[in-house]
A = this chain, B = another copy of it.
Amino acid sequence: MATEKLYFKNDYSEGACEQILRRFMEINYQQNTGYGTDEYCKSAEEKIRLACNCKDAQVKFICGGTQTNQLVISTMLQPFEGVIGTTTAHVAAHEAGAIEYSGHKVLTLPHHDGKIDPVELVDLIETFWNDDSHEHMVYPGMVYVSHPTELGTLYSKAELQAVANVCKNYNIPLYLDGARLGYGLMSEESDLTLEDIAELCDVFYIGGTKVGCLCGEAVVFTRNNMPKCFVAQIKQHGALMAKGWVTGLQFDTLFTDGLYYELGRHAIEMANLLKQGFVEKGYKLSVDSPTNQQFIVVDNEQHKKLSEIAVFENWERLDKEHTVVRFVTSWATKKETVEKLISLI
């Protein structure tokens, strides 16, 4: 609901980009076949294959991120396997146990600005295999990375390559959670393209909910490795939309004329403006995030002042005097809102 305060709490507070709403209006009375068998899904899948330069990619559309993570992870793992992620990984910390609900453990590694260290990853896997009683332990069966990470940071191409190499060496699939992928791809600091990601990962998803859609994520299997009878498994998880075209149409729109990138770029520009503003006003960054989430260290007085002006998230209490707060921009953030914020702080 509208608030008079300046709203930077998250990147899922507004609706959908106008092009998407317009298409909903246009095709409203068309009669589409159900469950993702329609032409919009097909067209979107093809456009995504092209954008990934991965002609055999298998693409499916799911309504939300946690659902996607649960579905991909649980259908790709063997029953005795777990998924490796950092302690900050969304699947480890903020999905209410959705992975465990599906029967699998999340094996955690320390995070480094939200990222996995490939040496520590090797160590976890080697320790497992070298343990005489590893049959009594959870097998490492997948590696989960988020990009951008939950802390707004990015894997460089070399970093993701290093993780992918470990996965390849141990024959473990690499899964990239791209809930905010558009904001990662458009960051000035990013040297990773969608093509690179498709090449390095066994499966990933392109986030729509946070990047211009009402709802929807596009899962991409890059090695002809979509789990058997995947549609039945989506249904079994309660995740098969009757009007599958609702997500298909949105992604078809996002991947027409580079709209997905354009939305991403806008959020990054707003984030840079906001970050620069905070820095110039003497605020200290908690992490130097190159994406649309900005983490700022504030003292209690600053916190009070900011709370009067804006809506944001309290990320972490550092000590009695200091808190890390999060400001988020999105495809929908208006320049004047950022400028007003900066003028007021």
Contacts and interface: CB of A to CB of B under 8 A. Distances in A.
Interface string A268-300: 000000000000000000000000000000000
Nearest to A15: B28
A67 B238 contact: yes
A111 interface: no
B136 A95 contact: yes
Contact of A80 (B24, B132, B236): B236
A190 interface: no
Given A100-B103, A236-B79, A94 B24 contact: no
Interface string A198-230: 000000000001100011000000000000110
Contacts of A12: 34, 242-243
B236 A101 contact: yes
Interface in A48-84: 63-71, 74-75, 78-80, 82
This chain's copy number in the assembly: 4
Nearest to A5: B31
Interface string A15-28: 11010010011011
B96 A80 contact: yes
B32 A80 contact: no
A105 interface: yes
B105 A100 contact: yes
Contact of A29 (B14, B209, B214, B241): B14
A69 B240 CA distance: 13
B28 A18 contact: yes
A162 interface: no
A8 to B, nearest CB: 9
Nearest to A64: B241
A112 interface: no
A318 interface: no
B15 A3 contact: no
B136 A232 contact: yes
A93 interface: yes
A97 interface: yes
B13 A233 contact: no
Given A79-B233, A80-B236, 9 more contacts: A7-B31, A13-B34, A14-B31, A80-B232, A98-B235, A103-B103, A139-B229, A214-B246, A238-B239
- 3 tightest Cβ-Cβ pairs between the two chains A and B: A67-B238, A96-B235, A15-B28
17 contacts: A1-B33, A14-B28, A25-B25, A63-B63, A64-B240, A80-B228, A80-B236, A82-B97, A82-B100, A96-B236, A101-B103, A101-B236, A105-B106, A139-B229, A209-B243, A214-B243, A215-B243
